[in-house]
Amino acid sequence: MNGRRFSNDHREHTHGNSLNRLSFSSAHSGSTAATLTSASNAEQNHTESYAGATFETVPSSIVSFHHPHSFQSGSVLGGSLASSTLRRGRRSTEEEALLDSAANYSRSPSRNPHFRLFTEDQIAAAEGAASTLEATDYDMNWDSTPAYEQQRLEESRLSSTRNSLHSNSVRSSNFSGISYDSIGERRRGRSLSRSRQLHPEQSVHSSVRSSSNSSRYSTRDRIPSELEDNGDEMLNDRSTNGSLPMSAREGFSENDGDNASGIADSHANGHHKKAIYHAEFLQPCHHEKFYPNLPAKLYYQRFYVAEEDLVIGIGGYRTSKFRLYIYYMLCLCTLGMVYLLLRWIPYYKVKLYGVKVPLGKAEWVVLESELGDFNIVAVKREWYNRPMSTVLPITKELADDNAADSSSSHHANGSNPNIPILISFDYRYITFIYSPLEDIFRSNNNWTDVNWVDLPSVYRGLTSGTCEDRTLAFGRNNINLKVKPTSQVLFDEALHPFYVFQLFSIVLWSLDQYYYYAACILLISFLSIIDTLIETKRTSQRLAEMSHFNCEVRVLREEFWTHISSAELVPGDVYEVSDPALTVFPCDSILLSGDCIVNESMLTGESVPVSKVPANEDTMYQLLDDFKDTQISNYLSKSFLFNGTKIIRTRIPKAQSAALAMVVRTGFSTTKGSLIRSMVFPKPTNFKFYEDSFKYIGFMTMIALFGFSISCIRFIQIGLDKKTMILRALDIITVVVPPALPATLTIGTNFALGRLKNRNIFCISPTKVNAGGKLDVMCFDKTGTLTEDGLDILGVHVSEPSSHNSFAFGELQHSVRQIFPKFSLNDCSSPMDFRARNFFIALLTCHSLRLVDNELIGDPLDFKMFQFTGWSYEEDFQEHAFHSLYDKRHEGDIFPENSDIIPAVVHPNGNEPHNRFTDNDPHNFLGIVRSFEFLSKLRRMSVIVKPSSDNVFWAFTKGAPEVISEICNKSTLPKNYDELLHHYTRTGYRVIACAGKTLPKRTWLYSQKVTREEVETNLEFLGFIIFENKVKDATSKTLQILREANIRTIMCTGDNVLTAISVGRESHLIESPKVYVSSINEEADVEDPFPVWRSVDCYEETLDLDEPQFSTSTGDYTLAVTGDIFRSLFDNDEKISESYRDRVLLKASIYARMSPDEKHELMERLQKLDYVVGFCGDGANDCGALKAADVGISLSEAEASVAAPFTSQVFDISCVLDVIKEGRASLVTSLACFQYMSLYSAIQFISITILYCRGSNLGDFQFLFIDLLLIIPIAVFMSWSKPYHKIARKRPSANLVSPKILVPLCFSILICLSFQAIPWLLVQRTPWYIKPIVGGDDAVQSSDNTVLFFVSNFQYILCAVVLSVGPPYREPMSKNVGFIVDVILSLFFSTILMFINPDSRLGSLFQLTGITTGFKVFILVWALLNYLCQLYVPTYFKSLFKKNHSSKKYKSILKKQNMSLLA
């Protein structure tokens, strides 16, 4: 009864006084700790790869060698909000955008899943959740409209939506306010509860503890009271139907906290006795006792990480003790072999001792991604005892069901059950929490509290109990990467398959009494592991230090200000941002009061200061709406403070003591956390060379097994003892698959990385280097990439009256004195003067510049525009009062603007020598009283200006000419508006239009309340500002080289299409004489998506792409596509054929007015045509494309460089040539080294196979001489070759298993076999022939051994010379001095060995026998013949396998089109 009465009273209290509404829950909780009990200590896979696929397949000791990670200036924390958020680039505004039922399921054709534990059908049919709160999934139909256009469409509905939200904010506050639709239920048309009966009676688990605001209580207070009272009976009741008593389900008493405290005091002694029961109830087997009406039924689920476009399957498991004991026994019996195999292939470990259980009862879970990643993670269980809405957002359907319920926020009821035990696990730094309602794991990255819309309650801060609840639910505000302890790094590295194989080889050689050789390889392996350990620790430590941030913040707790560590911040905390000690935002926050200027270069790559304004109620509603998705709207971003961004300046509002912000996301849930995650877990590179290399190793292994079998048969025939037989046969495996073979994957890459670093080009993904050698198409941004960053003003065109109600542009004015040649802004005597003055004021005031430390900062375009005027800009200006008499007389008390608002002021600069304006004239002082910032979706900005001496308010707007013309009064537009605009854009200039008007009301209050829509309507056009954007010096030359190399070049920009075409022609990116621009076909049907293609030089000339125009009549041409046409083409799959879209992609050189999402989409569309795509850019709009491209090159020094594999500190596109050259050289080097190591193993395999046939082998020091003095130096020096200075038209091959590679290799092996077999047969017929001793491990001296050793030495050296090709991808070998010296020395020592006395100490060491001088000369001549055969015979057969048909889609399309024209 007390609980019911309190609930009703609380409802009345909530409605009666919103200011005193409780900010978190009706059950103020405050635990200091939680019992962290894991039901199982299942082994976790902590593998964290830092640089792509190579780390997954090759030991880090190999990859990290010469691996120059770019950690300078904190750049590892960079990235792009655009790139780290929604990978697809499209988000759905309609909840119905999900796919149909599982029966209609179809996978995206671009996906190639690698699931083993789950089948594709299971993943498709599984219940789904997503990392965003929006109902998104991996195979949904994305809305074709980009985010910025959706916002424009939604703005018309915004007010009504917010009103609706506001009317229900209290009534429906038992949910978190976020529309989170369960993917699985919506797609299958089932109810969210999965046939569960959702009644209030189901939340019978326990009553929720509450306490007074200031109380702090222990873990025990999180344990349901019913469990304490009935623990013995319930523990004895092992039936699955047993449940907790149902007392106090409907509500809870305000005094529960005190009662709980009293109970705790009176039962202090009994507490420890009952601890065993409490721990027992955390076990998964008791799950249904807490959820009798919500049993766990699902065994697996799907989770879609939208930020990474990654699908994960999650399966629940428990450990079978019996099977676990069998596993232990197998490990012991096989001396750890089973442990190693199951460590490398954990899939079988799950099969061996894992038992499938429902997700809610899992002791551990298996997570398998579509990329093949396989992880086993233990599930944590800890007492929580709070409503589900405090840790997970409630889905929309359940929220709607409870909209009529006027209970307080986070009140436990049927659709918001109490969570006695929090079931969770961490994967990739994302916390997954079990939802009993949906029976799946979900993330709470974007959790929000519906109470945040009530700003007065937000300003009161949080209680200590609420903070402790949220710490438990969301973790600490840390971005701490797990740095493995030294022992674990050492253990993991030592147990890598590479080193295990090394260890196996060393043991084998030792048993075969090759002690010296084994000891040398052991020493090298040990040093390699130690080097890896040091490098791995250094790299991970450096990355962890860069990502970690901690500072002291001043936070409002219990309505008192206190200082805490930033790690203790939780969502909902109010903290001070104006604290001088705070220089970087410690979390994602929303600005509540004051204003800020921040540097968001960490997110955008552009060091342009961004202004932040305080949030209002509409902003908070927008926050709730935007957190459904990973994209943050422009409306919200004006008040959103991103974690890791730098504070440039903070201003405290008048009559307040601090500027405040509220925490909304912490830790890895923040934008910075997502960037760190994407860097630590990069998407693996599916490059053909790496895929083929492991097929190749497998092929060589099969040859080894074949040799193993032949040797065993031969050993039996000659009667070898079993021990020697086994050792010799196993030794063949170590010969055919040499331990150093995997290292050849990275030798060339590591040297290329070093050379790139010397050119100030840094790479964070080494596997992308070889991809750079295969580039087919290179895309470039325009501004800052092809053209200079800075814009210079060429001049201005003022709109002048030409006749009655008619206007025309004046001449191009190059200076301020030509625009308005007066001494005072008030000195206007004609309509022309008034228009010139208004245009000049627009230049002075319509910008977003800010003054920080007496230095103007802001957008470079704004800076150049204001610099052109020669005036001064000041903030907090105190010398002149900017007010109106009307306000003083009538509205002073209502709106005390004179004390609260001090505008930024522009006035003449007395120190400027060319200044004509009077500095102390009050008419020359202009106050910028309000700004509407530039929005990319609107493509304009506006200001409201008031002169100091006059009671008038002006509005000025500047932006893209095509946008400004739409919001101006048409009668004020000059007659030659389009003509002049067309003239300048065609010649490559950037044009900005200005407009303005006088506000109808002359009050300060009106200027502060008027909407942007009212300001930006019915404007008077004032004139054009003409900016010239010069092409960089290196641009034309670089594009010319790329064109000669048959690498296609594309411009992808957000600028005007005509400007882009002009720059394209000036830079020679466009060589075609005809350019056709896309435009909407106004004459066609409304639903007709086909554009019309018009010539840029002749409007009447059109192109019909339905009929392929490759004939001579049309001639050479190219296409220019605008962003709206691009969307139209690729969002109408039913109406536009694939061939039409492919034709556009193959012929378009210019993509203009492209949004970040569209740039990203373009990369993926080109990749689907089998292009290897590169992208080079520098700004915020490029980060998504940089990550999507196969090779992304960032020219930004800012931290956004982490979004791209390559970062160049050479700020022009010449760096692209270096990346391509090094990529090609690296690819050819890797291929040559790989072939060389294969030939080396084949030569040695032939030698020992022949010797095995005679029961003998090579000697210990003979192996050492071959491997350490010949092979390793040659392999290293082969990789020293620098790239060729010219880029060839033909790209190098990356295919290791093609006939073109394998057939010549097979002939090379046959040649080596022949040139070893013939001397071996000849030596047996000589009179001085010494037969080998069968089975003699110590005595291997024989003529067979000596001759094969001498011949094979020359083969090792000369094969390297044959495979060391120079041009067209590498410099001639004559320039590789190290390689030449090494070859000469190797030939010299090999020859010297032939002529030393076998009885000498050195001869005995090498176990040589005597041969005649004539035979020695024969071996030298024979080696020369061998070299000539290797040089010409394989090359001849290689030429027979010329590729007649390309497997690349774009080449096939072009070939078909050419064939059709010929027909």
Q: What is the DSSP string of 92-122?
A: -SSGGGS---GGG----TT-----SSS-HHH
Q: Rounded to an integer, what distance in angstroms lies between the CA atom of residue 417 and that of residue 412? A: 5
Contact 1103, 1117 (CB under 8 A): yes
Contacts of 1351 (CB under 8 A, 6+ apart): 1315, 1316, 1319, 1419, 1422, 1423
3-state SS, 230-296, equals HHHHHHHCCCCCCCCCCCCCCCCCCCHHHHHHHHHHHCHHHHHHHHHHHHHHCCHHHHHHHCCCCCC
Query: Looking at 729-786, which runs of residues are DSSP E strands?
Result: 761-763, 777-780
Q: Rounded to an integer, what distance in angstroms lies between the CA atom of residue 582 and that of residue 563? A: 12
Q: Rounded to an integer, what distance in angstroms lies between the CA atom of residue 115 and that of residue 374? A: 9
Sheet holding 37-38: strands in order across?
37-38, 380-387, 418-427, 430-435, 440-443
Q: Is 1021 helix (H, G, I), strand (E, B) or coil?
A: strand
Contacts of 148 (CB under 8 A, 6+ apart): 634, 936, 937, 1155
Q: What is the DSSP letter of 572?
A: T
Q: Rounded to an integer, what distance in angstroms lies between the CA atom of residue 503 and that of residue 522? A: 8
Contact 898, 800 (CB under 8 A): no
Looking at residue 1269, its amino acid is L
Contact 1077, 1123 (CB under 8 A): no
Beta bridge partners of 741: none
Length of the chain: 1463
3-state SS, 1306-1340, equals HHHHHHHHHHHHHHHHHHCCCCCCCCCCCCCCCCC
Please indicate whether residue 1124 is annotated as part of the active site: no
Q: Rounded to an integer, what distance in angstroms lies between the CA atom of residue 1142 and that of residue 464? A: 60
Question: Which is catalytic among the residues 137, 692, 781, 1382?
Answer: 781
Please classify residue 697 by burial: count the beta carbons closer than 10 Å to its beta carbon, then call 0-12 exposed, 13-18 middle and 19+ buried.
middle
Q: Rounded to an integer, what distance in angstroms lies between the CA atom of residue 1082 and that of residue 1091? A: 9
The CA radius of gyration of the chain, in Å to the nearest whole number, is: 37
Q: Rounded to an integer, what distance in angstroms lies between the CA atom of residue 282 and that of residue 1251? A: 66
Phi/psi of residue 280, each to 5°? -65, -40
In 10 A of CB 352, how many CB atoms? 15
Sheet holding 940-947: strands in order across?
806-809, 792-803, 1020-1028, 989-998, 954-959, 940-947, 926-935, 904-908, 871-874
Sheet holding 1173-1177: strands in order across?
761-763, 1206-1208, 1191-1194, 1173-1177, 777-780, 1048-1052, 1148-1152, 1117-1122, 1074-1079, 1092-1095, 1102-1103
Closest by CA to 164, choosing from 633, 629, 634, 625, is 625
Q: Classify residue 1047 as left (phi > 0), alpha (psi -120 to 50) or beta.
A: beta
In 10 A of CB 881, how many CB atoms? 11
Q: What is the DSSP letter of 1398?
A: T
Contacts of 409 (CB under 8 A, 6+ apart): 22, 24, 25, 26, 173, 174, 389, 449, 450, 451
Contact 1004, 885 (CB under 8 A): no
In 10 A of CB 1046, how many CB atoms? 12
Q: What is the DSSP letter of 1070?
A: -
Active site residues: 781
